[in-house]
Chain A
Amino acid sequence: MENALKLFSQKGFYNTTIPDIAKAMKMSVGNMYNYFSSKEELAKYAIKYSTNILALELREINNMEISSKEKVSIFVNKYLENVQKSPEVIEYFLRVYLSNREVFKQGCEGFLCVGEFVTEVMILLDTGAQNKEFREQEFFPAFAMIMGCLGGFAFLSGEKVLDKDLLEYSDAVADNIYRALKYEE
């Protein structure tokens, strides 16, 4: 699946063919169709696969007995590590899922394919607000504050415009996100 993610991320959804993916996965084209009825179905499976990697990481963090500030810090660090080590996972989301909405409009509407990850972000925010670490606000601005910031950084990294190593920005990014969410007396 990582191979498929890489191909989609590098070549784009429309320029990637099933034979390309079959070749990268060392499978016959016929066998590929045993698993996925179309390229669209493969793309939908891929978005579930890639966001579930992040969902599992965030769930582990959510289950830790630490402050929400520390959770944000660890999550940002893990996310940027993913961008560095497995850029295809993040880039697939940014360059294929967000850019080709027409491919995902049936069967992947709204939160259908990214639900597990969005749920974990909800748990992170809900716990922080209950502990009075995060201030009360609507969900989507808070969600976009976290994911917009991280997505933006993944984009800057992909474009190779950052001055320093990606992980050196981790603390500053986490601090910015925390400041945007934190409870104010």
Chain B
Amino acid sequence: MKNKEKPTVVWFQAITCNGNTHSLLSANSNRLELFFDSFNLIYHPSLTIDKSLDDILNSNSKIDFLLVEGSISNNKKFFQISNNSTYNHLTKLIKKATYVISVGSCASFGGIHAMFKEHVGVKSVKEYFDKTLLKHQIINLGGCPVHPEWLLQTMFLLKDYGRIALDNEGRPKELYSSLVHHGCTRNEYFEWKVEGEFGTKEGCLFYDQGCRGPMTHGSCNKILWNDVSSKTRAGMPCVGCTEPTFPRDDMLNTKKNIGIPFEVPLGIPKRAYLSITGVAKTFKIDRLNKKLMD
């Protein structure tokens, strides 16, 4: 971590459950090794590093990558680190940084900490610092937690090319332009409207279990977790954690009116969706109503 040639990285933890740190440490070991070989992680509060937060704050050195985990508050009484608010710390850090990356849903969109009305002033990084004069836009890596590979890909892209295309929510298009539905192994069940149950391999979880795959931007079913699986592959509905609307109420239930889903897949008019659904339901395909393995 002493190599000055490598871009410097500071990981700042604000109001967080540390989930994104855990996620990073669960990355594919070869990729994590490549990350440590390619970047100079000079500060992370959960790892053994020879600098303290005060060292970073008081240093005049530039930071190449400032990674922020957790939502931000300007209220010292509500939450503080080293006798100061996360907002004040971040104000100083951001001025030193070239790239600022919000890691996970809390930093990107406020997340679970911002959802309670009692948590006045708890916001995302972008809500506080959008108008700050940064060389680059704040990058939002939505996800609860963010997939480690998404973070690593973003950092390597920026390191090698200096820029990355972002969508309207500030998320890298490379990683968030497709839907979680893409690559879902249950897509055939979705096409023919075969309902599934929580925890099973068969059936679509969109109809009853609240799955948000068809309306959530993310690569969960293309870049698999631990290289092998995803929520929907394991029988857990997508809860839409990469979107600004996360977390929603009653996430494991599909909101319906008179049996008709309140929301339909992105970009499809409701009338057209209902029409196709009615036709698809007509077909009873035995293969799709059986267990994959008896």
Contact = CB atoms under 8 A, between A and B. Distances in A.
A116 B275 CA distance: 6
B258 A142 contact: yes
A31 interface: no
A130 B260 CA distance: 10
Contact of B275 (A119, A130, A140, A142): A119
Nearest to A139: B259
Interface in A72-131: 109-112, 115-116, 118-119, 122-123, 125-126, 128-130
A13 interface: no
A137 interface: yes
A65 interface: no
A130 B257 contact: yes
Interface in B240-284: 256-260, 262, 270-271, 274-275, 278-279, 281-283
A104 B173 CA distance: 48
A164 B262 CA distance: 41
A159 interface: no
Nearest to A115: B278
Interface residues of A, number: 22
Contacts of B262: 130
Contacts of A138: 258-259
Given A112-B282, A126-B258, A134-B257, 12 more contacts: A109-B283, A110-B279, A111-B279, A111-B281, A115-B275, A115-B279, A118-B278, A126-B257, A126-B270, A130-B257, A137-B259, A139-B259
Interface of B: 256-260, 262, 270-271, 274-275, 278-279, 281-283
A115 B274 CA distance: 9
Contact of A123 (B259, B274, B279): B274
A175 interface: no
B282 A111 contact: yes
Nearest to A127: B257
A118 B278 CA distance: 8
Interface string A131-149: 0001011111010000000
A122 B274 contact: yes
A110 B282 contact: yes
Contacts of B275: 115-116, 119
B274 A119 contact: yes
A136 B270 contact: no
A110 B257 contact: no
B271 A123 contact: yes
A47 to B, nearest CB: 14
A123 B274 CA distance: 8
Q: Which of A110, A130, A137: most chain B CB closer than 10 A?
A: A110
Contact of A110 (B256, B260, B270, B278): B278
A111 B258 CA distance: 18
Contacts of B281: 110-111
B258 A134 contact: yes
A123 B258 contact: no
B8 to A, nearest CB: 52
B260 A119 contact: no
Contacts of A126: 257-258, 260, 270, 274
Q: Which of B256, B262, B270, B271: most chain A CB closer than 10 A?
A: B271
B69 to A, nearest CB: 38
A111 B282 CA distance: 6
Given A115-B275, A116-B275, A122 B260 contact: yes
Given A119-B271, A123-B274, A139 B258 contact: yes
A138 B259 CA distance: 5
A116 B276 CA distance: 10
B278 A119 contact: yes
Given A119-B271, A123-B271, A137 B258 contact: yes
A46 to B, nearest CB: 19
B257 A123 contact: no
A137 B256 CA distance: 10
Q: Which of A122, A139, A140: most chain B CB closer than 10 A?
A: A122
28 contacts: A109-B283, A110-B279, A110-B282, A111-B278, A111-B281, A112-B279, A112-B282, A115-B278, A115-B279, A119-B271, A119-B274, A122-B274, A123-B271, A123-B274, A125-B258, A125-B260, A126-B258, A129-B257, A129-B260, A130-B262, A136-B256, A136-B258, A137-B258, A137-B259, A138-B259, A139-B260, A140-B259, A142-B258
